[in-house]
Amino acid sequence: MAIPVVDADLCTGCELCVDIAPNTFQMSDEGISEVIDPEGDDEDTIQEAIDSCPVEAIVWE
């Protein structure tokens, strides 16, 4: 099963993915997105978050 992974070096902390899929992503203390539950939201919602990331920091692995 593929899971979403955030590249911490690319993430700018815009919080868009957290707004779209808040059960999957959260902002870390460092101000970057991190995956809290790879199945927290349905796949379409996670895909929308991935597609919305302005720096393409989230990928399926």
For binding to ligand SF4 (CB under 6 A), which residues are involved? Answer: 6, 11-17, 33, 53, 55, 57-58
Query: Do residues 25 and 36 lie in contact, with contact meaning Cβ atoms separated by under 8 Å?
Result: yes
CB 33 within 8 A of CB 11: yes
CB of 23 to ligand SF4, least distance (A): 14
**Distance between CA atoms of 56 and 50, rounded to whole angstroms?**
7
Of 39 and 53, which has the nearer Cβ to ligand SF4?
53
Of 46 and 58, which CB lies nearer to ligand SF4 in the complex structure?
58
**How near is the Cβ of 52 to ligand SF4 at its closest, in Å?**
6
